Amino acid sequence: MTLSQSATSASSLSTAASRTGAPEKNPAGPKPQLETLISHLLAAKRSLSSINHVWRANEIVNTARTSLEESVVVAARTGFLRRGLKNQLRLLYGIRAEVEDISQRGRAQFASVLEELDAADDRLKLTLSKLRETVVDPAFRPEGEEPKSLHDFVDERGIEELQTALKGAIDRTNAAQAQLDASNYAFDEELGFMQQALRRPGTAMELVSSRSSTSISMSSVGASNAVLPSLSSFSTMLRSLESHAQEMADLLESLVRHFDLCVTAVKHTEGGGAAARSITGDMPTGVHLGVRVGDETEDGDDVNANTPLEPMTDDDYEEMLNVLTRDATEAEDVVLEIQDRIGDMESIVENVLAQRDALFSTYNTTTEIFERLSSLASSRLPECIAQAHAFTRVWNEEHDRIRAGMADLLDLRSLYMGFFDAYDGLILEVARRKHVRQGIDRVLRETGMKLDELYDEDVNAREAFRVEHGDYLPSDIWPGLGRGPMKVKFVRVSGDGLDDATGETEIEPHEEAKVANKDENTDGGDYIPDLPKQVVDNAVARCRARAKGVLV
C-alpha cells in the first residue's frame, strides 16, 4: 500500500472514529508511544517543505506554457520568412547564372579572338624575321654600300601603331572583365554568406508552425534539409511537465494527509495536544491542514480551546497507528520522488528554454539574412546587372576594333609576303633579262659577222669591177661609182615607259667595236646586275616551294 493509499485509509478511519466515539486514554502506555508519534509528526512536518518544489513545478509549467506560446508565434514567423528567403535566393541565383553566362560567353569569345590575334601576330613576326634574314644581293646596290636586308626597306611605324591600338582594345576589355568579375565576386560572397547562414546548425533548419512540420527543399540554393524538432516536441515536454507537476501535487497532498494523520494520532494520545499545537504552530506557507490543531481550523474560524476531541474506538486508534507507522517509512521516499521529479522538470524546462532560445536565435538570424538580402537586391544586384551590360557593350566595341586590327595585321603580312615574293621574282626577272640580253648579243654578234662577210664581199666585188671596167667609164658618169660599200651600226635605245631618261649607244660592227667586246656600260642604260648562279637557284627553289603551298 502506498503512502497516498494509506493516507486515504487513515482519513477514513478518522472519520469513522468521529462517528463511533473512543476513550480519551490510550491503555498501551502513552509516553513511549507519544515520543514516537511526535518524531513521526516532526518528520511529516519537514516533508511538507516539499511544497517549495511544488511551487517551483507550477512556475516551470507556466514558463514552459509561455515558451510554447512564444515559440509557436516565432516559428510561424520564421518559417514564413525563410520560405520567402528561399524563393528570393532562387531568383537571385537564377539572375547570377544569367550574368555568369554572359561573362563566360564573353570570356570564351575574347580568348578565341586573342588566340587568332596571336596567331596572326606570330605569322607577321615570322614574315618580318624572314625579311631580316634575306640580304639584298650587292649587285642590286651601289658599289661600297653597307649590306642591307629586305627588312631595311620596311617602315614598321604602321605595325607599332596597329599593335598599340590592339593593346589598348585588349586592355579595355580586360578592365571591363575585371570589373565584372569583381562585381560577381562581391555578389557571390553575399549569396554565399546567406547560404551558409541557412546551413549553420540551429539556423539552417526548416522551421514549422504548429499546424505543419513539413520542411521545404532548398536544393536549388544548397540549404540543409535538416529540421528542428517540430513544435509537437514542445507539447510533449509540456505534457510531461504538467504530469510531473500533477504527480508532485498529489504526492504533496499525500504528505499533507500523512501530516494530518500524525496530528490526529498525537492529539488522541494522552499528553499530545500541547505537543501538536507547538509543532504545528509554524507550518510552511500554503499548507492547508485537514484537522483542527488548536484554536483554529483550516479556514481560520475561532474554536473554543476546551472543546473535547472527537471520540475514537480502540480498534480505530490501533488501525490508525498501524497506517501511520507504514506511511512514516514511505514519507522519505515520497520526498525523494518529489525531488527527482523537480530535477527532471528542471532538466526538461532547460531543454524547452534552450529550444525556445534557438528558435529566437534562428528568427534573429533569419531577420538579419532578410535585411542583407534586401540590401543585396537594392544595391548589389543592380550593380551586378549594370556591370554585365557594361562588359557586353565594351566587348562588342573592342571586338570590332580587334577584328579590324587583325585584318590590318593580315594585310600587312600579305604586303610583306608580297615584298618577299617580289624579291625572288626580281632575281628571276634579272636572270630572264640577262638571258634575253645574251640572246640579243648573240644575234648581234652573228649579224655583225654576216655583215662583215657581206661588206668584204662587196668591197672585193667593187674593186674587181673597178679594175675591169674603171678605165673605160668616165668618173662623172655616176658619182657613187668610186665609193666603198656602206657600213651598218647597231644602236641601243632605252626602253619607253620604264625609265624617263632616254639615250642611245652606237655599236660599230667592225673589229674595233664589236658587240662581244663592249663593256656593260655601253648597254644603253639597261643595266642588268650580274647575279651568282646560286642566288638565282635559291630564288627558283623558293618560288617552287611557295607554288606547292610550303611556307619558306
Question: Which tops the pLDDT comparison, 292 or 456?
Answer: 456
Record the cell numbers describing residue 425, joined without a space.
621574282
Mean of the per-residue pLDDT values of the chain:
77
Residue range 38-86, pLDDT digits in tens: 777 787 788 888 888 889 999 999 998 998 889 889 888 988 888 888 8
Cα–Cα distance measured from residue 24 to residue 551, given in angstroms and rounded to the nearest whole number: 140
Per-residue pLDDT band at 320 (split at 50, 70, 90): confident
pLDDT tens for residues 285-317? 655 555 444 444 444 443 333 345 677 777 887
pLDDT bin (cut points 50, 70, 90) of residue 172 is: very high
Comparison of pLDDT for 212 and 276, the residue scoring more: 276
**For residue 523, pLDDT beyond 70:** no
Which amino acid appears at position 215 of this protein? S
Quick check: 361 pLDDT over 70? yes
Q: For the chain, give the percent of residues with pLDDT over 70.
A: 75
Instruction: Please give the helix or strand (H or E) that residue 492 lies within, else none.
Output: strand 490-493
Out of 142-146, 201-205, 471-475, give the one with best mean pLDDT: 142-146
What is the enclosing helix (H) or strand (E) of 504? strand 504-507
Q: In this predicted structure, what is the pLDDT of residue 507?
A: 43
Task: Identify the band that residue 275 occupies on the pLDDT scale cut at 50, 70 and 90.
Answer: low
pLDDT of residue 240 exceeding 70, the answer is yes
For residue 457, the model assigns a pLDDT of: 92
Tell me the three state secondary structure of residue 206: strand
Q: Is the pLDDT of residue 27 over 50?
A: no
Q: Give the highest mean pLDDT range of 13-17, 185-189, 396-400, 470-474.
A: 396-400
539 Cβ contact list (under 8 Å, min separation 6) = 423, 424, 425, 427, 428
Lowest mean pLDDT among 93-102, 196-205, 508-517: 508-517
